[in-house]
Chain A
């Protein structure tokens, strides 16, 4: 690392425990799909993908960023943007209480973490949803952080990548949360104007307002195997149409079959695949290995 780089603003060090935090405590872990009993350390080493059946377990946002980005030169964007309670919303609990306990549980202040950095030395901005924070729901903070990431990508001419995992809009912010669908999606028009690639990685689950805004607007839309992705939740659909849903409905494989996504990518190959795609979209010459 050059002396000049050392003078740059604080950056996030590679967090060795990030993947670990996504996996429940204990020496053993059970795969929710094939029920194989696994060593926790094996699961960790395998990026939370079951070594027996390749089931992709859910991962925390920082773990995903950690797996995707090069170790050096990471910088978080929009962390100073934090939620308020614009409607003074209260159901069985106050929105402010839900926010504080989500903060305690996740060590995050809202459901989107945005970082600039690089993937195999190609500069990028990555926005990643934290599903553990109120179901990855999109409210004002998610929208604003997303846009700050887009703006940085636009200014510094970097591709923008979004990894989704969300139940949809944040009901506790009422219509303000619906408007985040328009805000985030509108931001993409600026990337397009500068011919900057926008890539989405749909992970389990991606539903409602996130699915029905920017998720399918990627220049390339990727998904992890088995990810549930759709507009309406399976339960709502079942109640509406009063029939049993077909096997694998709304799963990534179903979406690929229906022509909704470009490809399904194994998590363990995601980093390389994204690097290849952005290299081509930004017209970089291939380098002989």
Chain B
């Protein structure tokens, strides 16, 4: 795997790793044996990572959620599922590369996989539009959900987007309608839907594939109504206050679990999913299996009724007339 890219707040870890590497270089000289020292430092590095990640601030978690080496939907499509067959296009305008989807098998059972997709290198980032879908992306997702319904297949969605793309063409082709339509159809889709926030859950662009029977969040993912930067620039009149906004909005898995907006938190490897893709995939597979079991065996009517009741329960308010 590539060398881990370090985030700003990971500087102490980065320093330690560099020191270890320098020592490794020296160790090539057979005259000195410092393997003990290296082992000691590696252990220290593990501890330091664990300690640092045990008390991340919401803003730091947002950085981890956006880490360039974090596993993306296509990584999970290949590591959690087998025999992924990508399907393309909305049949009307284009194939949006910011959303991917297709048929796959989960523990041998056929299913549909849909998710936002970010790019790794500059070229792919642009091709994937940084994971910001246009209407045709949402319409492709919708087509695949209908396909799932027709053949009675469960739907797994993976959310990782800064938000739906705010562009001229996107508006002209009905970005609002595309998102609203997906929400509507997901509310009445007659097959199980399990959504996992794997990175950034950015607003309506995320929700458009995240109306589900079970909503999971990876430990260091975020899910919010507006990006911390966006919220800060509107309410604090300064994008610099993103960290404060992240704190105030409650964008992390544990806060959202407390608010009953998320069903399950999937634990990440020490130091985040990007440090160990295989371990992350294994943990995700276990969680998805449990979640699927919870919603399997219901009739389509029961399933839709339960989902409807879940959606109706969203919200915190006071009712003066309530006894």
Contact string against A for B residues 89-125, beta-carbon threshold 8 Å, 1 for contact and 0 otherwise? 0000000000000000000000000000000000000
Q: Is A258 located at the chain interface by the 8 A CB criterion?
A: yes
Contact string against A for B residues 33-59, beta-carbon threshold 8 Å, 1 for contact and 0 otherwise? 000000000000000000000000000
Contact B224–A174 (Cβ < 8 Å): yes
Which residues of chain A are near B316, meaning CB under 8 Å?
Answer: 84, 86, 140, 173, 176
Minimum CB–CB distance from B152 to chain A (whole Å) comes to 20
Bound form: Cα–Cα A144–B226 in Å = 21
> Known contacts A91-B236, A186-B187, A212-B179; is A175 also within 8 Å of B223 by CB?
yes
Bound form: Cα–Cα A233–B259 in Å = 29
> Known contacts A87-B250, A179-B261, A181-B207; is A237 also within 8 Å of B226 by CB?
no
Bound form: Cα–Cα A208–B226 in Å = 10
Contact B319–A209 (Cβ < 8 Å): no
Which residues of chain A are near B261, meaning CB under 8 Å?
Answer: 175-176, 179
Q: Which of A92, A216, A229 contacts B236, CB < 8 Å? A: A92
Q: Which of B168, B173, B248, B318 contacts A84, CB < 8 Å? A: B318
Which residues of chain A are near B166, meaning CB under 8 Å?
Answer: 231-233, 236-237, 240
Q: Which of A175, A186, A214, A246 contacts B225, CB < 8 Å? A: A175
Contact A83–B317 (Cβ < 8 Å): yes
> Known contacts A185-B187, A258-B172; is A171 also within 8 Å of B167 by CB?
no
Docked complex: A231-282 residues within 8 A CB-CB of B: 231-233, 236-237, 240-241, 243, 245-246, 249-250, 258-260
Q: Which of B174, B204, B211, B225 contacts A258, CB < 8 Å? A: B174
Bound form: Cα–Cα A82–B317 in Å = 6
Docked complex: A158-187 residues within 8 A CB-CB of B: 169-183, 185-187
Which residues of chain B are near A190, meaning CB under 8 Å?
Answer: 308
Residue picked from B176, B224, B308, B319, most chain A C-beta under 10 Å: B176
Q: Which of B204, B225, B318 contacts A83, CB < 8 Å? A: B318
> Known contacts A80-B319, A87-B248, A176-B261; is A231 also within 8 Å of B311 by CB?
no
Bound form: Cα–Cα A250–B168 in Å = 9
Closest to A110 in B: B317
Bound form: Cα–Cα A246–B167 in Å = 12
Docked complex: A44-102 residues within 8 A CB-CB of B: 80-84, 86-87, 89-92
Q: Which of B183, B224, B308 contacts A181, CB < 8 Å? A: B183
Contact A250–B171 (Cβ < 8 Å): yes
Bound form: Cα–Cα A213–B256 in Å = 21
Minimum CB–CB distance from A268 to chain B (whole Å) comes to 27
Which residues of chain A are near B322, meaning CB under 8 Å?
Answer: 80
Which residues of chain A are near B248, meaning CB under 8 Å?
Answer: 87, 89-91
Contact B176–A230 (Cβ < 8 Å): yes
Bound form: Cα–Cα A187–B225 in Å = 20
Contact A143–B314 (Cβ < 8 Å): yes
Minimum CB–CB distance from A217 to chain B (whole Å) comes to 5
Q: Is A222 located at the chain interface by the 8 A CB criterion?
A: no
Which residues of chain A are near B242, meaning CB under 8 Å?
Answer: none
Which residues of chain A are near B318, meaning CB under 8 Å?
Answer: 81-84
Extra contacts, 14 of them, besides A170-B225, A189-B187, A232-B166 (Cβ < 8 A), are A81-B318, A89-B248, A91-B235, A169-B203, A174-B259, A175-B259, A178-B224, A183-B314, A183-B315, A186-B187, A186-B188, A212-B179, A229-B176, A231-B164
Q: Which of B170, B187, B231, B235 contacts A182, CB < 8 Å? A: B187
Provide 6 A-B residue pairs closer than 8 Å at the C-beta atoms, listed in order of the A residue.
A91-B245, A169-B204, A169-B226, A171-B249, A183-B312, A186-B184
Bound form: Cα–Cα A189–B308 in Å = 9
Q: How large is the interface on A (under 10, 10 to 19, 20 to 34, 35 or more residues)?
A: 35 or more
Q: Is B175 located at the chain interface by the 8 A CB criterion?
A: yes
Docked complex: A107-136 residues within 8 A CB-CB of B: none
Which residues of chain B are near A147, meaning CB under 8 Å?
Answer: 312
Contact string against A for B residues 292-321, beta-carbon threshold 8 Å, 1 for contact and 0 otherwise? 000000000000000110011011111111
Which residues of chain A are near B321, meaning CB under 8 Å?
Answer: 80
Q: Which 9 A-B pairs have the closest CB atoms?
A: A232-B166, A140-B315, A186-B187, A179-B314, A91-B235, A86-B316, A80-B321, A216-B177, A231-B175
> Known contacts A169-B225, A171-B231, A231-B175; is A208 also within 8 Å of B204 by CB?
yes
Which residues of chain A are near B225, meaning CB under 8 Å?
Answer: 169-171, 173-175, 177-178, 209
Closest to B249 in A: A174
Q: Is A215 located at the chain interface by the 8 A CB criterion?
A: yes
Bound form: Cα–Cα A223–B164 in Å = 24
Q: Which of A179, A212, A233 contacts B180, CB < 8 Å? A: A212
Which residues of chain A are near B288, meaning CB under 8 Å?
Answer: none
Bound form: Cα–Cα A84–B322 in Å = 15
Q: Is B251 located at the chain interface by the 8 A CB criterion?
A: yes
Minimum CB–CB distance from A241 to chain B (whole Å) comes to 6
Bound form: Cα–Cα A140–B261 in Å = 13
Minimum CB–CB distance from A177 to chain B (whole Å) comes to 5
Closest to B170 in A: A231
Q: Is A141 located at the chain interface by the 8 A CB criterion?
A: yes
